[in-house]
C-alpha cells in the first residue's frame, strides 16, 4: 500500500493543484458560493479516490510483490492479474526467469564436467606417482630422497585439488561414524613420517586412547592432514615437537594441534581462513597456497564442528577442532 501511495503521490498533488487553480479562477471572477465550491472539491477528490481504488485493486498483486519480494516463484506466477500493466510485467518476469534458469543449468553442467575432469585427472596422476614410489623403494641415495620429497609434495597437492573439487558435492560424499581419535592421528603421523624427518620436527600424540568422536573419518583425516602440513612447514628446522592433545570443554571435545614454529602475525590471523590468503608467511614460503585452513573451516562448517586458531609470532600456533 505504501508503494502504491508513493507511486501515485504525484497524481494526487497534480489533481489537488488543478482543483485549487480552477477554484482560484472562479474566485477571481467574482464567484463567491462557498458551498458549491466545497462540493466541487469533494466531488473531485471522490472521483480521484474511486480511480485510485480501482487502480490499486487491478494492480494489487504487482505492488505486493514489489513491496514484499516473493520467495516462491509460484506465488507470483499463479497470481491472477487483470490489468494490462500487471500482465505485461508478469510476462516479462517469466521470460527473464526462463532465461536465467537456462543459464544456471548451462553453468551447472559445465561445472559438473569440470569437476569430473579434475577427479579423473587426479586419479590418473596417482598412477605414475605410485610407480615412482615403487621405483624409489630401497634407494638411499640423497638424489632419490629429493625425488621422494617432491613426489610427496605432488601427492599432497593432488589431494588438496581432489578435496576442493568434492567440497561442492559434500553432501553426497560423507558418512558420519564413530572415529577413534588417537588411532586416526597415529595413522596420519605414520603417513607423514618422511615429512617430519625431513623438516626436523617430531610429533607427540597425547590424545587419550579411549576418546571417540562422531565425524567423517575421511574428511577428518584431510583436515588434520592440512593442519599438520602447516605445522610442519612453519616449524621446519626447529627440532621442536608438534603436539596433538585433547580435552573436554563443557559438552564439547577439543582436539588441539600445536607447533612451536614462526607463528602468524596478529594482522594476518583474522584472514587465515579466507581462500587464497597467504599473508606474510606465505611470501616467505612459496609452497603456501592459502587454501589449507580455508578448506579446514569449510569442512568443519559442513560437519558442524568448530575451528579456532591462536598464534604468537616466534612462539608457534595452536589450531583447535571442536567436536
> Residues for the chain: how many in total?
323
The answer to whether residue 74 scores a pLDDT higher than 70 is no
How far apart, in Å, are the Cα atoms of 125 and each of 155, 290, 294?
A: 9, 23, 24
Per-residue pLDDT at 297 exceeds 90: yes
The pLDDT score that the predictor gives to residue 179 is: 93
139, containing H or E segment: none
Contact 216, 180 (CB under 8 A): no
Question: How far apart are the C-alpha atoms of 281 and 314, rounded to whole Å?
Answer: 12
DSSP symbols for 260-294: -SS---HHHHTTTTSTT--HHHHHH-TT--S-HHH
pLDDT, tens digit, 9 for 90 and up, residues 11-70: 888 888 888 888 888 777 777 777 877 888 888 888 888 988 888 777 777 777 766 665
Give Dmax (Cα) for the chain: 119
Side-chain-facing half-sphere of 243: CA atoms under 13 Å: 13
- Map out the domains of the chain as residue ranges: 2-98, 114-169, 175-322
Burial of 169 (0-12, 13-18, 19+ CB in 10 A): exposed
Cα-Cα-Cα-Cα dihedral sign, residues 51, 52, 55, 56:
negative
Residues 6+ apart with CB under 8 A from 262: 234, 235, 281, 313, 314
How confident is the model at residue 307, as a pLDDT? 95
Structure confidence at residue 183 as a pLDDT band (50, 70, 90): very high
CA distance 11 to 8: 5
Determine the Cα–Cα distance for residues 42 and 48; give it in Å rounded to an integer.
10
pLDDT in tens, 81-139: 566 777 777 788 788 888 988 999 998 888 888 888 888 888 888 888 888 888 888 77
What's residue 75's pLDDT? 55
Rounded mean pLDDT, 194-223: 91
Task: Please tell me which residue, 158 or 286, carries the higher pLDDT value.
Answer: 158
Residue 78 pLDDT > 70: no
Closest by CA position to 133, among listed 156, 149, 157, 120: 149
End-to-end CA distance of the chain: 50
Quick one: DSSP state of residue 83?
A: S
Distance CA(244)–CA(52), nearest Å, equals: 73
Judge contact between 232 and 272, C-beta under 8 A: no
Query: Does the model's pTM come out above 0.75?
Result: no
Would you say residue 309 has pLDDT above 60? Answer: yes
Residue 6 grid coordinates: 508513493
Mean pLDDT of the chain: 84
**Which architecture characterizes domain 175-322 according to CATH?**
2-Layer Sandwich (3.30)
Q: Which tops the pLDDT comparison, 58 or 316?
A: 316
Q: Is the pLDDT of residue 151 over 70?
A: yes
With beta carbons less than 8 A apart as the criterion, state whether 245 and 203 touch: no
Question: What distance in Å separates the CA atoms of residue 271 and residue 294, rounded to the nearest whole number?
Answer: 9
d(CA 187, CA 202): 15
Amino acid at each position: 500500500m505504501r508503494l502504491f501511495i508513493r507511486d501515485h503521490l504525484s497524481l494526487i498533488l497534480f489533481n489537488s493543484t488543478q482543483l485549487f487553480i480552477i477554484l482560484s479562477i472562479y474566485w477571481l471572477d467574482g464567484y463567491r458560493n462557498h458551498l458549491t465550491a466545497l462540493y466541487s472539491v469533494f466531488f473531485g477528490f471522490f472521483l480521484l479516490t474511486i480511480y485510485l481504488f480501482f487502480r490499486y485493486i487491478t494492480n494489487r498483486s504487482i505492488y505486493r510483490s514489489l513491496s514484499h519480494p516473493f520467495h516462491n516463484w509460484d506465488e507470483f506466477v499463479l497470481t491472477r492479474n487483470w490489468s494490462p500493466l500487471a500482465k505485461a510485467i508478469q510476462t516479462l518476469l517469466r521470460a527473464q526467469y526462463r532465461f536465467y534458469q537456462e543459464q544456471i543449468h548451462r553453468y551447472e553442467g559445465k561445472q559438473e564436467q569440470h569437476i569430473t575432469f579434475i577427479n579423473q585427472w587426479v586419479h590418473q596422476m596417482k598412477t605414475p606417482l605410485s610407480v615412482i614410489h615403487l621405483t624409489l623403494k630401497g634407494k638411499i641415495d640423497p638424489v632419490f630422497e629429493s625425488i621422494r620429497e617432491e613426489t610427496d609434495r605432488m601427492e599432497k597437492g593432488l589431494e588438496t585439488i581432489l578435496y576442493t573439487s568434492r567440497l561442492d558435492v559434500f553432501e553426497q560424499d560423507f558418512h558420519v561414524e564413530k572415529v577413534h581419535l588417537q588411532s586416526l592421528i597415529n595413522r596420519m603421523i605414520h603417513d607423514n613420517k618422511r615429512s617430519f624427518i625431513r623438516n626436523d620436527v617430531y610429533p607427540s600424540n597425547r590424545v587419550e586412547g579411549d576418546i571417540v568422536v562422531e565425524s567423517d573419518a575421511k574428511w577428518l583425516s584431510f583436515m588434520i592432514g592440512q593442519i599438520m602440513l602447516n605445522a610442519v612447514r612453519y616449524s621446519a628446522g626447529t627440532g621442536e615437537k608438534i603436539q596433538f592433545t585433547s580435552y573436554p570443554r563443557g559438552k564439547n571435545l577439543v582436539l588441539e594441534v600445536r607447533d612451536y614454529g614462526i607463528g602468524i602475525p596478529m594482522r594476518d590471523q583474522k584472514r587465515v581462513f579466507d581462500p587464497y590468503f597467504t599473508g606474510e608467511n606465505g611470501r616467505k614460503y612459496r609452497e603456501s597456497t592459502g587454501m589449507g585452513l580455508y578448506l579446514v573451516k569449510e569442512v568443519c562448517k559442513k560437519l558442524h564442528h568448530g575451528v579456532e586458531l591462536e598464534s604468537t609470532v616466534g612462539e608457534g600456533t595452536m589450531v583447535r577442532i571442536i567436536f
